[in-house]
Amino acid sequence: MKTFFKLLIRNRLAAAGGIALLIVVFLALITPILPLHPPNVTDTANRFQPIFSEGHLLGTDHLGRDMLSRLLWGTRLSLAVGFAAAIFAATIGAAIGIVAGYFGGATDNVIMRGVDMLMAFPYILLALAIVAALGPGLVNALIAVAAVNVPFFARNIRGVTVGIAHKEFVDAARLSGLSNTRIILTEILPNVVPVIVIAMSTTIGWMILETAGLSFLGLGSQPPQADLGSMLGEARSALITNPHTSVVPGVMILIIVMGINLLGDGVRDALDPRLRSGALTRPMASTVVERASPAPAAHAEGVLTMTDLQTQFHVGERVYKAVNKVSLHVAPGECLGVIGESGSGKSVTALSVMGLVASPPGVIVGGSVRYKDEELIGARYDKLRSLRGDRVAYIFQDPLATLHPLYKVGDQLVEAIQVHHKVSRDEAWKRAVDLLKQVRIPNAESRASTYPHEMSGGMRQRVGIAMALANDPDVIIADEPTTALDVTVQAQILSLLNELRRERGLAIIFITHDFGVVAQLCDRVAVMYAGRIVEEGQTDAILADPAHPYTRRLIACVPELGEGRRRLEAIPGLPPAVDRLDPGCAFAPRCLKKEAACVTREIDLAGNGTRAVRCLYPETDIGREAAE
Amino acid sequence: MGGYILKRLVSAIPVLLGITVIVFLIMAMIPGDPATAILGSYATPENVEKLNRDLGLDEPLVARYFIWLGNMLQGDFGRSFALNRPVLDEVLDRFGATLILAGTSFVLCAVFGIMAGVVSAARQYGFADKAITFAVLLGISIPSFFLGMMMILIFAVKLRWLPVSGMYAIYGGGDLPDLLWHLLMPALALAVVATGVVARLSRSAMLEVLRQDFIRTARAKGVNERRVVWRHALKAAMVSIIPVLGIQAGFVLSGAVYIEMVFQWPGVGRMLVDAILKRDILLVQGGVVFVAACYVLFNIAVDVAQSLLDPRIKT
């Protein structure tokens, strides 16, 4: 609650709206004791006095009545009527909603059908019909506006009540023999009241506006009594000759409604956790690069080489070091596996290559990524875009979310081709069908015309692969492409990727958390932990003889078929949060071999040309191994 | 598709019947003798008796409803006593003018609202976003009738750019340019609030969509940012924007009542207000039922548009 008010006050616009409203309400409350002219006494000798004239701060209207006095009395009336309408609508609507939601079944059905019917009207038609039946007048306008808003409350409150009516405490009350009325009053109502209040605060501005509108049409308050709407309505005939009589009440309505809207928006923003966490910020076209030092030289040869790549997430004051000086490289025809638990930074590493890390909050703060001889970190957007999908392509996890739901898969492939090649649609479509055939999709011609939701998970993933292959890229970065699939489909997809690599000399970076998959596909493997590479080397060497304790335990997590002698060991604990890393080895808190030296200083990734490990007490001496 | 439209039309029948029931019940609330209320206090006893017979006013409530419904289904909405002509004729005459006004405003609010929302989302927290957000806030806070009056004051009286009111010039008007000339100001005034609401919703729908994985996929393909925003993201966002457009159509139709009063536009809204003030009950009743029915049909069109956009909706 405290943070809520803090947020609300920090929102300057909301605060301004709130203050404006408070002043208006205060003025309306003290109107009777202010030294004002009587609002309804006419003085036709002094009609249409301008603003700031003697004795009449806001001038006089067409009957010589003091505008300031009429404005304040009118504001008082408008606020009162709007508020009363809101109370009526909320009370009746909530009662209907609670009854419908609590009793359910046929009661609910009948009531909600009725509510739907009411909502089928443009609101003013209903209000006009009610006023037509009851006759013009302020009370009747109030009834009409309240009635028109009842369905809105009924529907909202019903939804909330349905959620509550089946909670344990309500069942308990029922079992203890309480009557329905008691349960509604003591158990349901207290839980629904906050929702009613919020719904009221969002609609009260509307109700003030609607009653003012009916009065403006001459259907609400009748002379000589005037609310803001009827003041405006009466002033309309003198609009051209004496505009101030229209402007004064109009601006007051504007101030009131705007104040309510500003305050309402502020409340909504302060209550919305997604806004606070920044989950509603838009990711930019490419990841922000804020480099502290110039790009380092490439550490190795390869078609794609990352050197000391650093990607962070900046959330408020916190800095999450998701990728902490990672160096990787991959050669044509080679498959590099990057393995780690969720949160180890492997996906962020992959996305950093083409600037696809969502930003904000992602920022690339250092390092280099080279495609052949081109530096990609900090490259111009156009350069990056021309390489994306053309030379370096991605395959993502969960193709239901990663394919556009409203485009046919064929069209999505066509687009991938046409973005980089000037070919006709027909030609691109033919090529798209070819691609679908290459990834072994049966009936490729007709499948091209289906939507993603009409395909199975395996088929969708094949489409994802086809899309990555569309422009015959040099590098494919596959980010857990098989995680969402069942084992048989997974095996098919892996062998498909393997074939493509051999046929086309593709370089593949394969991100996974599964050592089984790495063993099937990858030549080399890099193990990531807490944003760093902790071990790197040839896949078979690491599998046979892991050097880092973490790698060893990760391999021990993989169940073996048929043998079953070895104990399947989970790693106790969780990976550390990367916003407050202690110096030294990040795995130390979970490591069985931890020594004091492990956490005193940074540990280098040390090794020979083919293997490296970031550990002071490795499980195996990789230097000796290489010498043998 | 044809089957789907038919299905939706059939499902609208109970809603349309519900609308007639509601209007009928509201009108049954009229205090005192309905015939006197309809004819006014100067009615002769013969006239009262004749009307009672014609409308079945001495029958029980349920029978009266069915008589009324039956008459309407045959195109007989009763007779306006103030205007002395059939209600349906008058409503149809006036509805055209409302359709021109509200339809134009609806198109304006959809086009500008969506565009503003997309730009606002694409430049989130930038200058354009802040400017649009502020304009939207102003737009949804200003009562349309006040806005209309201020526009008259500025553009018609002070600057003399546009006509003060009416649908056609009194002398020598009547052609399309004349209509558009007169339409511009009321249509804009009417569109402002709805544009604000649509812009707001489009912005948040776009922000929601721009974070989706398929947007990242489009970027990974190398699609340029303009296309990512205006094609990929907007198309997906339209799924949540279209239903709001349906609701906004109702608000535009409602706001038209005020705008028609301010600009002396000869539409259904002004007709209804005049009819209420003259206690021309049958005209109000017929007008409300007719416009509400049109709105229901329009919302079916919105549903159909939604199903054309989103293949996941079972048609």
**Per-residue pLDDT tens for B214-234?**
999 999 999 999 999 999 999
What are the tens digits of pLDDT across the range B39-75? 766 677 777 777 777 766 777 888 888 888 998 888 8
β-sheet bridge partners, residue A508: A335, A476
Q: Is the pLDDT at B308 greater than 60, yes or no? A: yes
What are the tens digits of pLDDT across the range B10-36? 888 988 998 999 998 888 877 766 677
Q: Which residue's structure tokens are 């009307």?
A: B51
Q: Is the pLDDT at B117 greater than 90, yes or no? A: yes
Residue in A296, A292, A291 with CA at minimum distance from that of residue A327: A296
A232 contacts in B (CB within 8 Å)?
A: 145-146, 149
d(CA B222, CA B200): 29
What share of chain A in percent tops pLDDT 90? 30
A380 touches chain B (CB under 8 A): no
Give pLDDT, residue A622. Answer: 67
Q: Which residue of A has its CA nearest to B221?
A: A389
ipTM value, please give it: 0.88
- Pairwise pLDDT comparison (B6 vs A50), residue with the higher score: B6
Amino acid residing at A14: A
B209 touches chain A (CB under 8 A): no
* CA distances (Å), origin A396, targets A209, A287, A402, A462, B58: 50, 18, 7, 11, 73
Give pLDDT, residue A196. Answer: 87
B202 touches chain A (CB under 8 A): no
Q: What is the pLDDT of chain B when averaged over all its residues?
A: 88
A609 touches chain B (CB under 8 A): no
Q: Is the pLDDT at A563 greater than 70, yes or no? A: no
A285 contacts in B (CB within 8 Å)?
A: 219, 225, 228
- Pairwise pLDDT comparison (B260 vs A605), residue with the higher score: B260
Given an 8 Å threshold on Cβ–Cβ distance, is B150 in contact with A250?
yes
Between helix B2-28 and helix B61-73 the angle, nearest 10°, is: 140
Q: Is the pLDDT at A10 greater than 70, yes or no? A: no
Amino acid residing at A103: F
Amino acid residing at A531: G
d(CA A172, CA A174): 5
Give pLDDT, residue B265. Answer: 92
Given an 8 Å threshold on Cβ–Cβ distance, is B216 in contact with A240?
no
pLDDT band of residue B168 (cuts 50, 70, 90) is confident
A386 contacts in B (CB within 8 Å)?
A: 222
**Residue B142: which region, alpha, beta or left (left: phi > 0; alpha: psi -120 to 50)?**
beta
What share of chain B in percent tops pLDDT 90? 43
What are the tens digits of pLDDT across the range A451-495? 999 998 888 988 998 999 899 899 999 998 887 777 887 888 888
Q: How far is B210 from chain A (nearest CA, A)?
A: 6
Give pLDDT, residue A6. Answer: 67
Alpha helices in A272-380 (DSSP H): 273-277, 346-352
Given an 8 Å threshold on Cβ–Cβ distance, is B146 in contact with A250?
yes
Angle (nearest 5°) at CA A575 between A569 and A579: 175
Task: List the single residue in B137, B149, B279 with the smallest CB-CB distance to A239.
Answer: B149
Q: What is the pLDDT of chain A when averaged over all its residues?
A: 85
Q: Is the pLDDT at A628 greater than 50, yes or no? A: no
Burial of A568 (0-12, 13-18, 19+ CB in 10 A): exposed
- Which one of B15, B146, B241 would you mutate to disrupt binding with A, by most A Cβ within 10 Å of its Cβ? B146
Q: Report the Cα–Cα distance between both ends of chain B, in Å, rounded.
A: 6
B150 contacts in A (CB within 8 Å)?
A: 247, 250
β-sheet bridge partners, residue A338: A511, A526
A359 touches chain B (CB under 8 A): no
Rg (CA), chain A: 35
Residue in B267, B249, B143 with CA at minimum distance from that of residue A232: B143
Q: Is the pLDDT at A566 greater than 70, yes or no? A: no
Residue in B144, B116, B141, B113 with CA at minimum distance from that of residue B131: B116
3-state secondary structure of A587: coil
A304-315 and A318-330 beta bridge pairing: antiparallel
A253 contacts in B (CB within 8 Å)?
A: 143, 146
User: The pTM is what?
Assistant: 0.87
- Which one of B23, B25, B105, B145 would you mutate to disrupt binding with A, by most A Cβ within 10 Å of its Cβ? B145
Question: Quick one: tokens of B38?
Answer: 């309809």
3-state secondary structure of A57: coil
Other CB atoms within 10 A of residue A75 CB: 24
Give pLDDT, residue A562. Answer: 61
B27 touches chain A (CB under 8 A): yes
Starting at the edge strand found earlier in the chain, the sheet holding A532-538 runs A392-395, A475-479, A507-512, A335-339, A524-529, A532-538, A612-613, A606-607
> Do B37 and B30 contact (CB within 8 A), yes or no?
yes
3-state secondary structure of A278: coil
B7 touches chain A (CB under 8 A): no
Task: List the single residue in A114, A232, A261 with the smallest CB-CB distance to B140.
Answer: A261
What is the average per-residue pLDDT within A94-107? 90
Task: List the single residue in B14, B137, B152 with the smallest CB-CB distance to A239.
Answer: B152
Q: Which residue's structure tokens are 């009162």?
A: A80
Q: Which residue of A has its CA nearest to B253?
A: A122
Q: Which residue's structure tokens are 């943070």?
A: A3
Given an 8 Å threshold on Cβ–Cβ distance, is A232 in contact with B149?
yes
Give pLDDT, residue A627. Answer: 42
Given an 8 Å threshold on Cβ–Cβ distance, is A122 in contact with B216?
no
Q: Is the pLDDT at B114 greater than 90, yes or no? A: yes
Q: Which residue of B has its CA nearest to A250?
A: B146
pLDDT band of residue A569 (cuts 50, 70, 90) is low
DSSP state of A46: G
Other CB atoms within 10 A of residue A590 CB: 18
Q: Which residue of B has its CA nearest to A469?
A: B221
A419 contacts in B (CB within 8 Å)?
A: 221-224
What is the average per-residue pLDDT within A278-298? 81
Q: Which residue of A has its CA nearest to B285?
A: A129
Burial of B11 (0-12, 13-18, 19+ CB in 10 A): exposed
β-sheet bridge partners, residue B85: B80
β-sheet bridge partners, residue A314: A319
3-state secondary structure of A356: coil
What is the average per-residue pLDDT within A500-512? 89
Helix (H) or strand (E) holding A525: strand A524-529
Give pLDDT, residue A467. Answer: 92
Give pLDDT, residue B60. Answer: 81
In three state form, how does the secondary structure of A445-513 look?
HHHCCCCHHHCCHHHHHHHHHHHHHCCCCCEEEEECCCCCCCHHHHHHHHHHHHHHHHHHCCEEEEEEC
Given an 8 Å threshold on Cβ–Cβ distance, is B235 in contact with A387?
no
Given an 8 Å threshold on Cβ–Cβ distance, is A121 in contact with B276?
no
Q: Which residues contact A40 (CB under 8 A, 6 or more apart)?
A: A65, A224, A225
B212 contacts in A (CB within 8 Å)?
A: 401
Give pLDDT, residue A9. Answer: 64
Q: How far is B307 from chain A (nearest CA, A)?
A: 11
Q: Is the pLDDT at A559 greater than 90, yes or no? A: no
Give pLDDT, residue A275. Answer: 61
Task: List the single residue in B138, B224, B262 with the smallest CB-CB distance to A385.
Answer: B224
Peptide bond into A224 cis (omega under 30): yes
Q: How far is B291 from chain A (nearest CA, A)?
A: 8
What is the average per-residue pLDDT within B282-303? 90
Question: Quick one: tokens of A525?
Answer: 């493997």
Give pLDDT, residue A1. Answer: 59
Other CB atoms within 10 A of residue B13 CB: 10
Q: Is the pLDDT at A601 greater than 60, yes or no? A: yes
Q: Is the pLDDT at A401 greater than 70, yes or no? A: yes
d(CA A472, CA A504): 8
B79-80 and B85-86 beta bridge pairing: antiparallel
Lowest mean pLDDT among A80-94, A302-316, A551-565: A551-565
B210 touches chain A (CB under 8 A): yes
Q: Which residues contact A23 (CB under 8 A, 6 or more apart)?
A: none
B314 touches chain A (CB under 8 A): no
> Largest Cα–Cα distance of chain A, in whole Å?
115
Q: How far is A617 from chain B (nearest CA, A)?
A: 41
d(CA A211, CA B163): 29
A223 touches chain B (CB under 8 A): no
Give pLDDT, residue A387. Answer: 92
d(CA A295, CA A444): 45
> Do B142 and B192 contact (CB within 8 A), yes or no?
yes
d(CA A360, CA A284): 7
